[in-house]
Amino acid sequence: MKYHAVSERPRARTASRPIASLGALASLFVLGALALLASTLAARSQETATSHAFSYFGTPKYGPDFSHLDYVNPDAPKGGEIALWTMGTFDSFNPYSRKGVSGWGASINIERLMTSTADEIGVSYCLICETLEYPEDHAWVIFNIRPEAAFADGTPVTAHDVAFTHELFMEQGLPSYREGVARIVEGVEALDEHRVKFTFVADSSKRDRIDQAGATPVMSKAWFEETGAQLDESRLEMALGTGAYVRDSYDINQRIVYRRNPDYWAADLPIMKGRNNFDRIRVEYFADSDAAFEGFKAGAYTFRIENSSKQWATGYDFDLAQNGEVVTAELDDGSQASGQAFVFNLRREKFQDIRVRDAISRMFNFEWSNETLFYELYARITGFASNSYNEATGLPSPEELAILEPLADILPEGVLTDEVVMPPVSGTRQLDRAQLRAASALLDEAGWEVGDDGIRRNAEGERLTVEFLEYSPAFDRVVQPYVANLKALGVDAVHNRVDTAQYVERSRSFDFDMMTDHLSIGYEAGSGLEQAFGSREAEFSLFNPAGISHPAVDALIKIASNSETREDMVAAMRALDRTLRALKFVVPQWFKDTHTVAYYDMFEHPENMPPYDLGYLDFWWFDEEKYEALKASGALR
């Protein structure tokens, strides 16, 4: 930044104006020097950094002159098709609306100002922007849009498109998104065709500001104006974006095909070299997982992430898998566990009592499930940051205590003094008698007594009912034993498996007792914590299915989000994990630290895979010669 000296013409002395004394002149000199110093310091505080990337806690791995990401093959060939499967139905291609069920990959054509990599945490690199500028206090950020950035129809991306998309989300986006962003972003302004400025709310988390702005999706202002489309409507038209893939064709509830845009504007950028290698991505829809697996064996699709332990352990004995034409592989997964769990809906009065939640949790026997149903392929999720450095362990560390002790009056019982809450451990029989006795005592204490019919009721005569809302048949064998154990406890439990559309509608309207969801705190504190666990959004945030609202959680989210060093943030995140676990509003399920995948032997991936993403649609590629061999052998038609 340039500095300009400003001079003012001195006034002429007049007879009516006495000459100042030396003391007065000295005072004026001191005041002037102080004013000049204050002006200089203020100017220096506005010095800006200009960079190709942003990391609040350190230096990005890739400098401004990097040629390609370390984990990609920059010479990967382009071509071929990868075919996947999904379950359920779809009737929309608008992923940002609460209305309708959007098709798989409906946001595949939308890019953001900045992007992340699969081998770093907490680093964002310019994608649609070329550089970003920001002052030391992060009061604002300016993104300089790449002149070559273009939408799929070839029209250029401008700063006006960025500002328009932001305003569109603020007017028509999900309430939880609007609330979260409004607490961070004060306004967005297109300074000219290629410069867009985000100004931030003064008391917002400094650490969260630029990351939030860089995550802004970019869509065409002209497309919305010409079509009259709304962000909050269900529609089959896809908004015009800048991504590498566009929709090619679809058959409602049967398949979707996306094709690579040969004129994709960012194909030669260092951040994109060796990526987006398939010409076509085909998605086949199936009514259930069993039908999908049979379809895979018949060659109806070609790549499968195997999430069923039973299938993985027993299902891959068909000829193509035995002779190697279908590859089965276990690839390392270094990412944080997803936090998959049965989630209590705390909006239900019966679940307000932690003793009720604790009792119900004790009836899920993970140990028996893992041995009998999962072939011992899984480990238990312990909380909200399993398999990461943010996971709380044992007693609180001195760093955690420094954060937690000032909150002693509002913390859940035992957080300061006890070891971190762990899921109950059961024996190898489906119904663990020790856990049954403990759960019975908890419900008795909470006022839910067993009647003559074996059902527990409260003082008002209301039955203790629990409905498990699910849509996947694959969960039947897991939920049904859990339901049986709860019935033995006197709980009127039912497993209700509904179709996808009904599941989406009921989960979005919070019309459930318990359902499976994924709740993790992530690697870095940010606005997502407010959406998933914060009180201000608990009543309407789709990312907070439990409706968790607790003052200690709110305080810890704020502390973590305002941390100035990575060490302080990790301590705060561990304290948050510890506190959330003490509230017992989820029944943790399971995870594994490997990707179990099966695919027809015509795909390749880099030898050195990154730790945080499998990347099968990102940096894998198609081998034409292997594909022809599969066709020649009859493995594929």
Q: What is the SS3 assignment for 601? A: coil
pLDDT at 558 over 60: yes
- H or E element that contains 221: helix 221-227
Is the domain of 271 the same as that of 318? yes
pLDDT at 516 over 60: yes
Taking residue 517's Cβ as centre, other Cβ atoms within 10 Å add up to 19
The arithmetic mean of pLDDT across residues 432-442, rounded, is 98
pLDDT at 48 over 80: yes
**How does the average pLDDT of the chain come out, rounded?**
92
15 is a domain residue: no
Is the domain of 527 the same as that of 607? no
Is the domain of 348 the same as that of 474? yes
Please list, residue by residue across 181-214, b when 16 or more beta carbons sit within 10 angstroms of its beta carbon and e when fewer do.
Answer: bebbbeebebeeebbbbbbbeeebbbbbbbbbbb
pLDDT tens across 140-190, in order? 999 999 999 999 999 999 999 999 999 999 999 988 889 889 999 999 999
Q: What is the SS3 assignment for 344? A: strand
185 is a domain residue: yes
Give the model's confidence band at 46: pLDDT under 50 very low, under 70 low, under 90 confident, else very high: low
> In degrees, to the nearest 5, what angle opens at C-alpha 489 toward C-alphas 485 and 492?
85
238 is a domain residue: no
Is the domain of 223 the same as that of 270? no
Residues 6+ apart with CB under 8 A from 225: none
Q: Which of 227, 261, 277 is the last residue of a domain?
A: 227
Q: What is the SS3 assignment for 100? A: coil
The arithmetic mean of pLDDT across residues 268-282, rounded, is 98
Q: Which of 174, 196, 227 is the last residue of a domain?
A: 227
Taking residue 116's Cβ as centre, other Cβ atoms within 10 Å add up to 18
d(CA 29, CA 217): 53
Backbone angles phi, psi at 510, to 5 degrees: 60, 35
Under 8 Å between Cβ of 234 and 97? yes
Is the domain of 323 the same as that of 344? no
The arithmetic mean of pLDDT across residues 569-584, rounded, is 98
8 is a domain residue: no
Q: Tokens in use for 621?
A: 């590629």
Q: Tokens in use for 262?
A: 């040969």
Provide the CB-side half-sphere exposure for 223 (13 A, CA): 21
d(CA 155, CA 161): 11
pLDDT in the model for residue 180: 87
pLDDT tens across 523-549, in order? 999 878 999 999 988 988 889 999 999
Residues 6+ apart with CB under 8 A from 30: none
Is the domain of 462 the same as that of 528? yes
Is the domain of 556 the same as that of 612? no
- The backbone region for 624, taken as left when phi is positive above 0, alpha when psi lies in -120 to 50, beta otherwise, is alpha
pLDDT in the model for residue 6: 26
Is the domain of 138 the same as that of 163? yes
Is the domain of 612 the same as that of 477? no
pLDDT in the model for residue 47: 87
37 is a domain residue: no
Closest by CA to 295, choosing from 315, 271, 268, is 315
Q: What are residue 85's DSSP bridge partners?
A: 284
Is the domain of 177 the same as that of 281? no
Q: Which of 227, 256, 279 is the last residue of a domain?
A: 227
Closest by CA to 245, choosing from 341, 171, 152, is 152
Q: Where in the sequence is the domain holding 174, given as residue range(s)?
A: 51-71+110-227
d(CA 537, CA 528): 11
Is the domain of 327 the same as that of 351? no
Regarding beta strands 81-87 and 280-286, do their DSSP bridges make them parallel or antiparallel, or are they unpaired? parallel
* pTM of the model as a whole: 0.87
Under 8 Å between Cβ of 298 and 284? no
Backbone angles phi, psi at 7, to 5 degrees: -115, 150
CATH at residue 440: 3.10.105.10
Give the model's confidence band at 80: pLDDT under 50 very low, under 70 low, under 90 confident, else very high: very high
46 is a domain residue: no
Tell me the three-class secondary structure of 586-610, residue by residue: EEECEECCEEEEEEECCEECCCCCC
Under 8 Å between Cβ of 444 and 259? no
The arithmetic mean of pLDDT across residues 498-508, rounded, is 93
pLDDT at 373 over 60: yes
d(CA 130, CA 196): 12
CATH at residue 603: 3.40.190.10
In Å, how far are 23, 112, 575 from 521, measured between CA atoms? 63, 22, 11
Tokens 């697996």 locate to: 293
Number of domains, the chain: 3
Helix 159-172 with 175-182: angle, nearest 10 deg: 120
Tokens 């500002």 locate to: 163
Backbone angles phi, psi at 48, to 5 degrees: -110, 150
622 is a domain residue: yes
Taking residue 35's Cβ as centre, other Cβ atoms within 10 Å add up to 10
Is the domain of 317 the same as that of 437? no
448 is a domain residue: yes
Q: Tokens in use for 21?
A: 């004394």
